[in-house]
Amino acid sequence: MFLCCWLALTALIPLTLSTNPGVKVKLTAKGLEYGRQLGMVSIQKKLKTIKVPDMSGKQRVSPIGKVKYSLTNIQIVDVGLPTSALDLVPGTGVRLSIAKAFINLHGNWRVKYLRVIKDSGSFDLKVSGLTVTTSIAIKSDETGRPVVSTVNCVAKVGSVSVKFHGGASWLYNLFKKFVEKALRNALDKKICTLVGDAVTDLNPQLKTLNVVAKVDKYAEIEYSMVSAPAVTKASIEFGMKGEFYNIGKHQEPPFTAAAFSLPPETDRMLYIGLSAFTANSAAYVYNTAGALSLDITDDMIPRGSPIRLNTRTFYVFLPQLAKRFPGLMMKLLVRTAKAPVVTFEPNKATVEASSTVTAYAIQPNATLSPLFVLNMETSASARVFVSGMRLAGAVNLNKMDLTLGKSYVGDFQVRTLNSIFQTVLKLVVIPILNVQLAKGYPLPALGKMNLVNTQLQVLKEHVSIMVVSEAPCSRSRSLGAVSQCPTVPLREL
Ligand SMILES: *[C@@H]1O[C@H](CO)[C@@H](O)[C@H](O)[C@H]1NC(C)=O
């Protein structure tokens, strides 16, 4: 008793100490239904591979005495699985129930009795009213990928009826019950094994979960599960790390994931929630990698713009430039001073960044003469969208505040430069940033799956992606989370 409680307690400890997931994926009963359809195809295929071994032996049949018999070349002719259900079992996984299944077999029979009399023919065997009930446990493997296994499989054959062709009917009618029983036993043993195989055949597909997804030359994102999947009666929820790292250097940021909840509804097939933590770990990684910096030169400013990046532009605000750096081209170095901060509130995604802008005059011999350093606080609103299996974004500048960091050219009113720098941000920095953001960041995915019919909502602390409904599929099977049948990760099911 004590031991059992102690074991139960120690089993709980890793869960309570585990980190909050940065990304959550919720698979609903609707999503499972899609899986069931594919799963049944796989089970049917498996059952068609049943090999019933040849059987032979002796049976005493009165009044003729011992009959030597053999049943050979037993083949599956047809397997039907008209009724099945996949139900969620809270705390465990799912339960697969198959009912009214049937298997038709064909084989040859041969008998020998009274030492010399031989007889042979063929037979058809109908196995009907077959039920299979099995629980499928869903766990996390050592790499943080989901893994499924069957537990408690029970298969029951409803009725078995054999029909012999050829030979003496009086004989095989004496025999019938025995054959039925032998074949029923042979099948009883195999069905659960084959259903179990069909289920574990899923694991190679589940192993394709991109637990480490490369983003670009700076970053990768980790999607390993941080805890066992949580199964309720309406859904299975997977908690994943959802954290960006510098490639090859897994340094933790100075903040951790806050708990967040996916929307409680379960009417869509699949929900993916990405937390502000995930977005902020990205910001941290790119900032640490020094990737959030940009050299701006005049050629990057669109031709039609009234603002040119030369000292002349600044004469009005900084007359000193006219004297010391007359008619020189300029260069601006914009770089983040610390990692930008992303916040998600209902219908509102915001990115706040603190940067420095260093302005240089470019001497005719290409030497850069520093003019001034500005501190720039910016706030941008972000639009987030799904593009294939990637989450992409675009930002729009809302607010910019400049203060003087350092001047090499004497005092000046920084405020007067606001419109120049706003224009530079809008014409150069934001478009370049948006090109990067539009490339997107990989979402958790299996194989080559593709999300279609998605809706995205910015909610408190996270972005929720909903896979709305079933999508058409070229193979005419209705599909949901995946658009192209040939690349369905579960296609082998
Ligand atoms: C480049 O020109 C500037 C200004 O004329 C001068 O101060 C600097 O010494 C020159 N640098 C080199 C490397 O020639």
Q: What's the CATH code of the domain at 486?
A: 3.15.10.10
pLDDT at 107 over 50: yes
279 and 178 part of one domain: no
Residues of the domain holding 418: 212-442
Among candidate residues 172, 74, 73, the one with its CA nearest the CA of residue 119:
172
Which is the closest atom of ligand 1 to the Cα of 364? 2
Cα separation, 364 vs 317, whole angstroms = 23
How far apart are the CA of 420 and the centre of ligand 1, in A?
28
Say what the pLDDT of residue 470 is.
46
How far apart are the CA of 366 and the centre of ligand 1, in A?
8
486 and 428 part of one domain: no
224 and 113 part of one domain: no
pLDDT at 48 over 80: yes
Which is the closest atom of ligand 1 to the Cα of 365? 1
In a domain, 449, yes or no: no
Contact 37, 486 (CB under 8 A): no
Cα separation, 93 vs 425, whole angstroms = 51
pLDDT, tens digit, 9 for 90 and up, residues 118-154: 888 999 999 999 999 999 999 999 999 999 999 989 9
Residues with CB under 6 Å of ligand 1 are: 363, 365, 367
Banded pLDDT at 169 (limits 50, 70, 90): low
Cα separation, 169 vs 86, whole angstroms = 44
pLDDT, tens digit, 9 for 90 and up, residues 365-411: 999 999 999 999 999 999 999 988 899 999 999 999 999 999 999 99
Encoding tokens for residue 261? 């909840």
Cα separation, 479 vs 269, whole angstroms = 10
258 and 301 part of one domain: yes
In a domain, 450, yes or no: no
Say what the pLDDT of residue 119 is.
87
367 and 479 part of one domain: no
How far apart are the CA of 325 and the centre of ligand 1, in A?
12
Banded pLDDT at 492 (limits 50, 70, 90): very low
In a domain, 455, yes or no: no
How far apart are the CA of 373 and the centre of ligand 1, in A?
21
Residue nearest to atom 3 of ligand 1 (CA): 363
Residue nearest to atom 14 of ligand 1 (CA): 365
Q: CA 91, 93, 94 angle in degrees (round to 5)?
A: 130
How far apart are the CA of 369 and the centre of ligand 1, in A?
9
pLDDT at 5 over 60: no
Of 295-299, 430-434, 442-446, 483-487, which gets the smallest average pLDDT? 483-487
199 and 218 part of one domain: no
Residue nearest to atom 4 of ligand 1 (CA): 363
- Which residues lie across from 335 on neighbouring strands? 293, 356
pLDDT at 224 over 90: yes
Q: Percent of the chain scored above 70 by pLDDT?
A: 90
pLDDT at 265 over 70: yes
In a domain, 156, yes or no: yes
How far apart are the CA of 370 and the centre of ligand 1, in A?
13
- Please name the helix (run of DSSP H) or strand (run of DSSP E) that holds residue 437, with its range, or none: helix 430-439
pLDDT at 16 over 70: no
46 and 170 part of one domain: yes
Which is the closest atom of ligand 1 to the Cα of 367? 1
DSSP helix/strand/coil, 254: coil
Ligand 1 pocket test target in 365, 368, 369, 408 with most atoms within 8 Å of CB: 365
Cα separation, 139 vs 145, whole angstroms = 8
pLDDT at 443 over 90: yes
Among candidate residues 220, 42, 233, 227, the one with its CA nearest the CA of residue 146:
227
In a domain, 460, yes or no: no
483 and 406 part of one domain: no
87 and 127 part of one domain: yes
239 and 191 part of one domain: no
Q: Average pLDDT of the chain?
A: 87
Of 50-59, 219-228, 300-309, 315-324, which gets the smallest average pLDDT? 50-59
In a domain, 304, yes or no: yes
Q: What is the CATH number of the domain that holds 333?
A: 3.15.20.10
Edge-first strand order for the sheet with 212-214 is: 212-214, 219-222, 243-246
Cα separation, 356 vs 372, whole angstroms = 10
Encoding tokens for residue 441? 């960041």
Encoding tokens for residue 242? 């959802």
In a domain, 452, yes or no: no
pTM: 0.82
Contact 216, 435 (CB under 8 A): no
DSSP helix/strand/coil, 158: coil
Contact 199, 136 (CB under 8 A): yes
pLDDT at 490 over 80: no
Cα separation, 329 vs 317, whole angstroms = 16
Contact 239, 225 (CB under 8 A): yes
pLDDT, tens digit, 9 for 90 and up, residues 325-366: 999 999 999 999 999 999 999 999 999 999 999 999 999 999
State how many domains the chain has: 2
155 and 222 part of one domain: no
How far apart are the CA of 306 and the centre of ligand 1, in A?
30
Encoding tokens for residue 82? 């008209």
In a domain, 459, yes or no: no
Side chain identity at residue 292, one-letter code: L
Banded pLDDT at 95 (limits 50, 70, 90): very high
Say what the pLDDT of residue 485 is.
38
234 and 132 part of one domain: no
